[in-house]
Amino acid sequence: MMERIYALAEADIDTFVGTNRANLITLSNLFPKTKLRLHQNVLKILGEDQAVEELMHVLSALEQLCSEYNQLTEAQIIETVRRLRSGQEGGGQPSASDVIIYGIHGKAIQARGRAQQRLVSDFGSCDLCFATGAAGSGKTFIAICLAVKALKAKQVRRIILSRPAVEAGEKLGFLPGEMKDKLDPYLQPLYDALGELIPAPKLEDLMDTGVIQIAPLAFMRGRTLSDAVVILDEAQNTTPQQMKMFLTRLGMNSKMVITGDFTQVDLPRGVPSGLRDALDKLEGIRGIGFVHFGKQDIVRHPLVSAIVERYDEREREAEQSYTAPS
């Protein structure tokens, strides 16, 4: 009789165990010569030596599968056991080469369109990437997908997400409530994106331990951001001084992705955009990627493209009318 301990470190526990511990019941049926006991994130395995060792290998494969696809079904468990017993490689679900990551419930997330594909490529080859263009084109979401993928692959130790809270003057002092309450309205889009990729309990744990950090741009001053993927969203609302401050935070073994849309500048009149300033100054430097997203890259509701196009037309007409000689 052998006793072994398996600690779940990568996969979300609730997802791995299944509703009403259905996945553990499946494993018990497949390994009748063993007994499984769960306490928090630790599985205790009792049984005959060979069966226990085999189940340990299965648990390792299943945890990797669950962590990658954010789901674990009875069919995946049975297929994984079958493959391991027959000496075959691979998990319980096929993986396309163009899948960036699997979100919650196993949703495959792929680069859609040339601009997203270019961003994926540049992220792999450059330590600093600028992604600019139309709202709804998936710039920030793809950047966060790439960051989560790098974290899961242990290429970095943390993810840092930031955006300027320009509506609050970057000071936030006049907003009611505690600091988190003050910041959340401006950072909610980043929480939403992460929520599509990481189960809620796991995401909460990663944020509590500082593995994933979300903070306004003002909080970046004085830091050196090493061993991380750092994303600055809504960068069109930075000043040149803020952008320089942020860019010089880049540390060793880190990557930065900076996203923005010049049609959504909220800076006071007369204040130049730090994003536009950076693009002008940094163009041509090796190791920096530049990707522009057009209206054809919008991946929201089909009406969004038409809405953006109509607003652009009206703004061009207004500018022409304003500049026309009298």
- At residue 92, does pLDDT exceed 50? no
- At residue 94, does pLDDT exceed 50? no
pTM for this prediction: 0.71
The class (CATH top level) of 99-322 is alpha beta
Tens-digit pLDDT profile for residues 126-154: 999 999 998 888 999 999 999 999 999 99
Phi/psi at 145 (5° precision): -60, -45
3-state helix, strand, coil in the chain (%, to 5): 50, 20, 30
The class (CATH top level) of 2-86 is alpha beta
Computed over every residue of the chain, the mean pLDDT equals 86
CA pair distance 303, 93, nearest whole angstrom? 34
Tens-digit pLDDT profile for residues 276-324: 999 999 998 999 999 999 877 877 766 777 787 788 888 888 877 765 5
Tens-digit pLDDT profile for residues 28-57: 999 999 999 999 999 999 999 999 999 999
Q: What is the dihedral of CA 244, 246, 252, 254, to 10 degrees?
A: -130
Q: What residue spans in the chain does CATH classification 3.30.1370.10 cover?
A: 2-86
Q: What residue spans in the chain does CATH classification 3.40.50.300 cover?
A: 99-322
Q: Would you give the end-to-end CA distance of the chain in angstroms?
A: 96
CA pair distance 150, 206, nearest whole angstrom? 14
Instruction: Please report the pLDDT score of residue 35 as a whole number.
Output: 93
